[in-house]
Structure 1
Amino acid sequence: MTRILRHNEVPTLFRKEAFTADDLAVAVNYFVARGEKEAAKELARLAPDAFDYKTPLKERIARGFELHDRVEWVLRILFLPRKAQPLREPRYGGLSLPILTMPLTRWPLYPVAASGGSYFVLSEGYMLGGSPENPLKYLKYCQREGRFRTQPVPVPTREQALKKEPSGIT
């Protein structure tokens, strides 16, 4: 049985369609503060709903976003690679990515990108031609192949975010 989450239980990133880089950083820091075990439990509660096609399409469209995208973004930042190779992306489908000019080696967090100490989402919405990987499987992969971030990510002030070269953000 899927647990119904109340709005105050999860970060805004998982509750509202519109989001900012700040919302992404706050969500990551929310899970960092809980530690790997609790973060994994809470993300696992969100993840099964990600491909919940039992939810009427009208309700999913009204939400305005897919949970699996947002679970993935947080996982891409929460788990750092144990080895030199970046963690693979989830197998949810295809993203708009020019493979020749944006290989995984140069864009290891895609669709998330890091600039200084801030993280930005470059693409959302997967194109699917088969069965997507279950977000729970991707969570398990990240736990097995990555190491959980223990330090929060910086949440820039509005002034820092508007500067061409954000200072003080590392």
Structure 2
Amino acid sequence: MVWPEDDARHREVRAALHAWAREIDAAPYPPGLDIDALLARHYASLHEEPEMALVVTTTAEVSVLAVRGELDLTGSRRLRSRLADEVGLGPRALVLDLTGAAHCSARGLALLLEATGEARAAGVPFAIAGCVRVVRRAIDALGMDQALQLHATTAEAIEWLGLVERMKALR
């Protein structure tokens, strides 16, 4: 990872984030909140290969992994690695946004099932949002829609994940 340490704007943002973290130190936030690690993930996501771009956006409530491009064999390997990293961080919830997916191979479809199972095993609420027509058609044709939590938009997926968490709290 190449950090833009010499970039004045980066230093400004980093200092502001550290100051903010000190201010909210008394407020509950996810364990392991590491601003440097979050910035590293952000910068890494900006420098992905052009065939498939993966952009991670993280808030206190949810991490969203947006995919743009081809979800083929090569793209699936990269996405699998990134999803494993995100699940390993233990976010409150994880949404895979496929709005920008132009194609999804059989390996990509298998990855969606694997990711759902791995997130469930790790106790991370997981949903898939924005399946474009070509991806949704393949999911429906294979009957995978019963095994995957699919939502039209990222906002809808986040709302659904929030409802699931509230229902768990009522038990």
Structure richer in strand, relative to its length: 2
Q: Which has the higher contact order (CA 8 A, sep 6+)?
A: 1
- What is the TM-score when the length of structure 1 is the normalising length? 0.27
Q: TM-score, normalised by structure 2?
A: 0.27
Look at both structures and tell me which one has the larger radius of gyration over its CA atoms: 2
